[in-house]
């Protein structure tokens, strides 16, 4: 018998009459499909919705199953087809819950009316008390306009909601922070800035997420200037923190002095420029970058870096090379210098495969699979919120990178991202320096 390794779940709505589920299962069986779990999701007066897991030999057989079920007609309808990933997202990944029990009238009077009026008066007299008597001090807004979602590009804010929900779930799980996705139906910097400023009183911090370049730079800079709460664009600074941590570890493994090394950055988009700024803040003396856009090279110079004329020139002169271009195979193996450290971070395909870079003479090579932003943003915001910081500085970010690197075990480029001890270490390190910020990002 052929293996039935093609498994999908169909979400089927049937009229609420006896026999309709049997018709669906018979249709599946008629095309040779096997049935796994059947889960009733919703029962109404007129229809019932069920998740039915179907095992088939291949996608073609599964397509025949779908046709057979849809052909039943008479109100029987397939709403959607899910795999395991889609199933994990059904209904969304986050849900707001109450932190207090409301089981009696006494509870109601204490947490709502009339008792809540007293708390309102306290905050009216001293707005800073809102940090203690509301969720504001432990809540972060995750703001996106959907213009740079993962590697998918400008797919819109609603299509980016699964990413924002994922960030919120990680904030809660790894740092105990309540995070709220905010989807903006505009990519105009003026509208984004004004909208975020208008909602900012309800949050202790702002995480900008998947906002494209170049308007992401202006938006972050303006919000940091106008708001007195931490603001961070994760695609820039979260990526830069984890990249610095990875390079610190690579330098330890190869005996390289990072501060004295010449570091090259290929690609000066949001992440690339932030990486350059992070390394300069760390104390790297020579930071070189290359990009097709002249404006990106001008930005690099304004931050203290040096433009290179070509990728080949950068490869020939730099001890450490980082690449974030999104272009697979961009780095020619013939350009690799003996003893170089190379981090080609584009996903899913790097600019050069680590095995190829190593065989070409690199002392250390890695791709972007391990360099995950989740190692940075939960602990960074936990530390900033604990310290009641008004902004996030480069000193705080460099400290976060060092803390991540120090948590890595021998042989690891960076620690396991779900290790709670790592996030506690990052939060503690950031909180310690947050009281004395030096250089704003």
Catalytic sites, residue numbers: 112, 167
What value, to the nearest 5°, has the Cα angle with vertex 90 and ends 88 and 94?
80
Question: How many Cα atoms occupy the beta-carbon half-sphere of 216 within 13 Å?
Answer: 26
The two three-digit tokens of residue 360, written as one number: 């070409």
Count Cβ atoms below 10 Å from residue 165 Cβ, excluding itself. 18
Count Cβ atoms below 10 Å from residue 114 Cβ, excluding itself. 9
The rounded distance, in Å, linking the Cα atoms of 285 and 261 is 7
The rounded distance, in Å, linking the Cα atoms of 117 and 310 is 65
Residue 122: partners with Cβ closer than 8 Å, 6 or more residues away? 129, 133
The rounded distance, in Å, linking the Cα atoms of 119 and 141 is 24
The rounded distance, in Å, linking the Cα atoms of 274 and 268 is 8
The rounded distance, in Å, linking the Cα atoms of 420 and 430 is 15
- Helices and strands (H and E) in the chain: how many: 17, 14
End-to-end CA distance of the chain: 61
Specify whether the backbone of 361 is left (phi greater than 0), alpha (psi in -120 to 50) or beta.
Answer: left
Dihedrals phi, psi of 53, to nearest 5 degrees: -85, 130
321 and 264 Cβ atoms separated by less than 8 Å:
yes
Q: Distance of alpha carbon 168 from its chain centroid, rounded?
A: 9
The rounded distance, in Å, linking the Cα atoms of 30 and 28 is 5
Question: How many Cα atoms occupy the beta-carbon half-sphere of 3 within 13 Å?
Answer: 2
């Amino acid at each position: 018998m052929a293996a039935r390794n093609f498994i999908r779940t169909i979400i089927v709505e049937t009229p609420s009459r006896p026999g309709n589920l049997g018709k669906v299962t018979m249709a599946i069986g008629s095309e040779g499909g096997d049935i796994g779990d059947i889960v009733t999701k919703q029962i109404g007066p007129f229809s019932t919705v069920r998740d039915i897991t179907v095992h088939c030999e291949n996608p073609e057989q599964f397509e025949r199953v779908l046709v057979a079920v849809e052909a039943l007609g008479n109100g029987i309808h397939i709403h959607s087809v899910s795999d395991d990933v889609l199933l994990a997202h059904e209904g969304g990944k986050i849900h707001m819950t109450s932190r207090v029990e409301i089981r009696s009238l006494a509870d109601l009077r204490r947490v709502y009316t009339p008792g809540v009026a007293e708390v309102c008066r306290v905050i009216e007299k001293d707005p800073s008390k809102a940090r203690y008597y509301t969720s504001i001090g432990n809540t972060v807004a995750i703001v996106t306009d959907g213009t740079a979602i993962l590697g998918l590009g400008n797919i819109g804010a609603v299509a980016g909601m699964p990413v924002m929900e994922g960030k919120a779930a990680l904030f809660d799980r790894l740092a105990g922070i309540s995070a709220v996705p905010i989807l903006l139906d505009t990519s105009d910097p003026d509208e984004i800035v004004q909208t975020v400023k208008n909602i900012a009183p309800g949050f202790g911090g702002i995480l900008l997420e998947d906002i494209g370049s170049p308007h992401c730079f202006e938006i972050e800079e303006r919000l940091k200037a106008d708001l007195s709460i931490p603001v961070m664009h994760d695609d820039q600074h979260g990526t830069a923190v984890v990249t610095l941590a990875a390079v610190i570890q690579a330098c330890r493994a190869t005996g390289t002095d990072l501060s004295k090394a010449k570091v090259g950055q290929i690609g000066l988009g949001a992440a690339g420029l932030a990486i350059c700024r992070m390394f300069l803040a760390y104390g790297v003396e020579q930071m070189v970058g290359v990009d097709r856009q002249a404006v990106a090279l001008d930005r690099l110079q304004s931050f203290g870096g040096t433009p290179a004329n070509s990728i080949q020139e950068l490869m020939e002169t730099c001890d450490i090379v980082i690449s974030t271009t999104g272009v697979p195979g961009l780095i020619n193996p013939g350009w690799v210098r003996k003893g170089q450290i190379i981090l080609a971070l584009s996903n899913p395909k790097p600019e050069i495969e680590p095995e190829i870079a190593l065989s070409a003479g690199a002392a250390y090579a890695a791709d972007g699979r391990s360099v995950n932003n989740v190692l940075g943003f939960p602990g960074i915001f936990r530390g900033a919120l604990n310290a009641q910081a008004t902004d996030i500085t480069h000193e705080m970010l460099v400290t976060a990178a060092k803390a991540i690197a120090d948590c890595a075990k021998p042989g690891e480029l960076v620690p396991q991202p779900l290790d709670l001890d790592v996030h506690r270490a990052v939060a503690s390190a950031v909180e310690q320096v947050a009281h004395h910020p030096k250089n704003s990002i």
